[in-house]
Amino acid sequence: MMRDNDVKKRIQQLREDINRHNQSYYQYDAPQIPDADYDALMRELQALEAENPSLISEDSPTQRVGSAPLDSFQQVQHDVPMLSLDNAFDDDEFEAFDKRVRDRVALANKVEYLVEPKLDGLAISLLYTDGIFVRAATRGDGKTGENVTENVKTISAIPLRLKGDNLPKTIEVRGEVFMPLSGFERLNRDAVRLSEKPFANPRNAAAGSLRQLDSKVTAKRPLAFYAYGIGVLEAFQMPKTQHDLFELLAGWGIPICDQVSVATGVEACHQAYQRLAEKRAMLPYEIDGVVYKVNDLALQQSIGFVSRAPRWAIARKFPAQERMTEVMGIDVQVGRTGAITPVARLVPVFVGGVTVTNVTLHNEGELRRKDVRVGDTVIVRRAGDVIPEIVSVVLEKRKSNAPIFDMPTECPVCGSAIERIEGEAVARCPAGLFCQAQVKESIKHFASRKAMDVDGLGDKIVEQLVAEGLVKTPADLYGLKQQQLCALDRMAEKSASNLIAALEKSKTTTLAKFLYALGIREVGEVTANSLANHFGQLEALQQATTESLEKVPDVGPIVAQHVVSFFELAHNREVVSSLQNLGVHWPDVSCVSESDQALAGKVFVLTGTLSVMGRIEAKEALQSLGAKVTGSVSKKTDYVVAGEEAGSKLKKAESLGVTVLSEEDFIELIGEQQGALQSV
């Protein structure tokens, strides 16, 4: 229990911290902490003020929105305050909100809500008079914003004249200016090319673009806009619902998000949240949650407002994608190809739906660029299934004696002198399979699902097999005996028997998978498949020159040299020969030239859920016919295969006029092409 004096001090400290972060976020578009950490500060302050109402002051951050406007822009007074939203962070908090809504208006029935994505951009007000755009202003502190009219005029998505005849005398449209992900990536690529500082995220990029003193700079930035409501409205009858209002705005030519829906009752709202959470990674823009608004506009008025937020709306946040934590140490790991990789060990932090304890720093150049040191407070980001990364160091929290990390000059596993090849970012241990770390990683890769697919051969078992000296090359796996496996930790007789059976089953494979399993540098699945299809037989590939290899699709001079170098090493040829002698085999692959392959040169994209043929099986079928399977849709895409719940890729394909195949169409196409190939 805090003493009264301690409570006052903590409240004052929280207010100072939040005001400082508000200034960094809203005025300078340079946030110092992730949203989740800011939310935690605000919630602590709200809780302390709720417990001690006598300490609430009008200048508390809980009583206002955002931060004061910049002096460099003309100020605009909002006739109707631009409010913020309260947050819900789990099902219980949303259900408590729903109960407050129903209790406030004594409603026994389920509430109908409009559900829309919570865009991560900058709130903006657009004023139209007689259908003509006259002014744009930022939210500012909710009462006073910045006049950014000339900059907003450069955003092509925002109409300068509303469509139609039935227009209000005056309408103030409110919405979010944001930067689509494709535009953000392009902007940062250009910044790096010009040796300029890249933006931290799309929100910062959008806000920074909108606050340029020179509108010509804003005009070059890829900004977009979606409306989410209105402020002032004169000489016009309001529609009955929020959804009707959106349709009205859309009819006037104002952009509305295409992910908006209506849900009745708590359970339907939870389902809508889950649907958007699943779509999140596929959307062409960033969202950080879902906004629920009571759909009935008359009911909204009855429910009312508090000082900084409406009582009839709430934002349900997704799990934080960025969090702060501390670097406990920096280790160096040795990869399958000898790559020396610095890895930061972190105080465990829950971010992006998982607990993160380690983050790769990729190479020495990346380590130096971000200047990560032991003891640093860092911002960690994990979005969707993306590998976690350290976004930046919070320099204001760095200890004065934090030492710069020195990369080792010798392999930490085998002691070999580390090589740094000119032109390569990655330093390497040159010892190959004489380095135990590289042996372990090679075995793990060989047994992985996309390679030889040895079910039950997990990392811990591989580490024990290598440590005990039972396995030194992939070929040694096929000589293992059941009693040897039973002697390992956590390996019972049944598990050992299952692993022996899995190894036996894995002997039947394909040439493409076998080549991928060998772990040749820069030979991934697609390249392995191209090599198998082009050469047809392993012997032909082993004798190939760099010139003949460069004729293979997806193979350039660097990859060609890696392939030649791999098969030039006697040790590698011995391992390959041993694997074949131990029974690893594959069906003969006819040496098919690219022009003879049924789908040669065609580019496919798979999206949505394929119920009959899984993604991996579909990809392999396409590759076996010479097709290229990519992850994104462009003008070069020939076909998009759309399964159930296909998202943004399907929409982009339709907008570009790319041929879209249903799963049934796709299966029919594959069958026809395979049949045609067999008849040749």
Catalytic machinery residues: 118
Tell the residue number behind the tokens 């131990």, with chain if given.
Answer: 582
DSSP 8-state code for residue 503: H
Q: How far apart are CA 560 and CA 577, in angstroms?
A: 21
Q: How far apart are CA 243 and CA 256, in angstroms?
A: 11
Q: Sheet containing 603-607: which strands, arranged edge to edge? A: 628-630, 603-607, 639-642, 659-662
Of the candidates 621, 606, 601, 616, the one whose C-alpha atom is nearest the C-alpha of residue 673 is: 621
Contacts 24+ apart (CB under 8 A), 521-527: 521/337, 521/562, 521/566, 522/558, 522/559, 522/562, 523/559, 523/562, 523/563, 525/450, 525/623, 526/554, 526/623, 526/628, 526/629, 527/554, 527/555, 527/559
* Cβ contacts of 444 within 8 Å, gap of 6 or more: 336, 459, 462
For residue 54, the SS3 value is helix
Tell the residue number behind the tokens 């040796």, with chain if given.
Answer: 195
Q: Helix crossing, 615-624 with 525-535: angle to 10°?
A: 30
For residue 240, the SS3 value is coil
Here the tokens at position 69 are: 């406007």
Q: How far apart are CA 362 and CA 223, in angstroms?
A: 32
Of the candidates 324, 418, 416, the one whose C-alpha atom is nearest the C-alpha of residue 363 is: 418
Tell the residue number behind the tokens 């209002």, with chain if given.
Answer: 245
In 169-282, beta strands by DSSP E:
170-178, 224-234, 261-264
Q: Helix crossing, 570-581 with 557-568: angle to 10°?
A: 70
Q: How far apart are CA 73 and CA 27, in angstroms?
A: 11
Whether 24 and 32 have beta carbons less than 8 Å apart is answered as yes
Q: How far apart are CA 623 and CA 176, in angstroms?
A: 42
Give the residues across from 144 on adjacent strands: 77
Whether 398 and 377 have beta carbons less than 8 Å apart is answered as yes
Cα angle at 223 between 218 and 283, to 5 degrees?
160
Here the tokens at position 501 are: 């059976």
Whether 158 and 128 have beta carbons less than 8 Å apart is answered as no
For residue 310, the SS3 value is strand
Residue 297 CB neighbours (<10 A): 17
Q: How far apart are CA 568 and CA 222, in angstroms?
A: 50
* Cβ contacts of 380 within 8 Å, gap of 6 or more: 322, 323, 324, 325, 346, 349, 351, 356, 359, 388, 389, 390, 391
